[in-house]
Amino acid sequence: MKTFNGIWDFALKNLLLNGQNHKSRAGDSLEILGWSATLDDLNYSFLTNPRRRLSPIYGIAELLWYMHRTPNIDMISTYAPQYSDLIGGNSIAYGAYGPRFSYNKNDLFTKIINLLQKQPETRQCVLSIFRPIDLIAAYNNQADIPCTLTWQFLIRNNKLHMVCSMRSNDVWLGMPYDVFVNTCIQRIFANTLQIEVGTYTHHVGSLHLYTKYIKAAEEAVQQIVDPLPHNWTYNIQDTLDYIPQILSVEQEFRFNRIGDVPKIGLMFQDFMYIIQNYWTKELVSLCSGSLK
């Protein structure tokens, strides 16, 4: 499908019509096993539905938290104070993705780029977020187990495609942010490789809708909503090389409530304008009109 709006609407309708009742530790739900969809145009990866209003600031903060590579939730909690409750009241997130992007002192992001540059035809470029030890943690009732299993990156026709495999996905709360953050990472990698983005495929072992959101989901599928394009064209500055600068600017806004937005890539500029607006409450307009 061209837009994430269309994919999300399709997922909700599938669950409402064909979902099977399932009881879980988090509550009763409707569930579909082995669900997949492909987003054809990454310029439409942010959900716009008035019944499920996403927070651009949270989506951006989650992406930047990944890039900080820390399990400490101090940073993400300033944007989502309820985050500690979501992981069992802890200050350290066992399932934080950021630290999992390094292995035996190797930066896996760099390894992804290097492998794809060395072997553009490869099918082996897989980043595993779920680790074998997580199965033991789940057996021992650990509250915060990663939902994402793997990211796979493939270059075809000089475009970077991404396939995300998830063990579990809450269609209402988690899926919209997961797709947005994942496609932002896909775009950063593509720009670093100096190629265009391709498709994004989202595969889920257990796609579910908790029963407490059924009424809201029924209302959401009645909405006719025009998707909002990001207009984030290929830009050599929306790359991994500029992540340290972006993290530094975000910290300056968060700690000191001051700072200037660096004139770099369209996506990163939009992120920083939104961060700036959040902390300084200034009326600013986004450089490409995205995520208003």
What is the DSSP code string of 20-40?
EEEEETTEEEEEEEEEEEEES
Angle at 10 between CA 8 and CA 15, to 5 degrees: 95
- Asked whether the beta carbons of 32 and 202 are under 8 A apart, the reply is no
- Specify the pLDDT at position 69: 95
Domains by residue range for the chain, with CATH: 4-221 (3.30.572.10), 230-292 (no CATH)
CA distance 200 to 186: 8
Q: Does 285 score more than 90 pLDDT? A: no
Q: Which residues contact 269 (CB under 8 A, 6 or more apart)?
A: 261, 262, 263, 286, 287, 288
Could you give the CA distance from residue 291 to residue 24 in angstroms, rounded to a whole number? Answer: 34
* Average pLDDT, integer, range 24-49: 95
Q: What would the mean pLDDT of 2-7 be, rounded to a whole number?
A: 96
Instruction: Give the model's pLDDT for residue 281.
Output: 78
Residue 283 has pLDDT above 60, yes or no: no
207: which strand partners? 32, 169
Average pLDDT over the chain, rounded to an integer: 92
pLDDT for position 89:
74
Q: What are phi and psi of 130, to 5 degrees?
A: -75, 130
Q: List % helix, strand, coil for the chain (3-state, nearest 5).
A: 45, 20, 35
pLDDT tier, 292 (very low <50, low <70, confident <90, very high otherwise): very low
Q: How does pLDDT run across 37-65, given as a tens digit for each residue?
A: 999 999 999 999 999 999 999 999 999 99
> pLDDT for 230-240, tens place per residue?
888 788 899 99
pLDDT digits (tens, 9 = 90+) for 124-167: 999 999 999 999 999 999 988 999 999 999 999 999 999 999 99
State the Cα–Cα distance between residues 23 and 38, nearest whole angstrom.
Answer: 28
Q: Cα–Cα distance between 114 and 111 in angstroms, integer?
A: 5
pLDDT in tens, 233-261: 788 899 999 999 999 999 999 999 888 89
Q: Once rounded to an integer, what is the mean pLDDT over residues 195-219?
A: 97
- What number is the average pLDDT over the span 97-102? 96
Q: How far is CA 197 from CA 143, 153, 155, in A?
A: 35, 11, 9
Torsion angle in degrees (nearest 10) through CA of 166, 124, 153, 54: 20
The CA-atom distances, in angstroms, between 23 and each of 26, 33, 290 are 8, 14, 39
- Which pLDDT does position 288 carry in this prediction? 46
d(CA 226, CA 267): 21
Kindly provide the residue ranges of all beta strands, DSSP E only, lying in the chain, ordered along the sequence: 20-24, 27-39, 102-103, 106-107, 126-128, 148-156, 159-170, 196-210
- Asked if 227 contacts 48 with a C-beta cutoff of 8 angstroms, the reply is yes
Q: What is the DSSP letter of 19?
A: P
Is pLDDT at 110 greater than 60 in this prediction? yes
Entry pTM: 0.93
Overall average pLDDT of the 194-208 stretch: 97
Q: Is the pLDDT of residue 30 over 90?
A: yes
55-64, 87-96, 135-144, 215-224: the lowest-pLDDT one: 87-96
The confidence score (pLDDT) of residue 225 equals 82
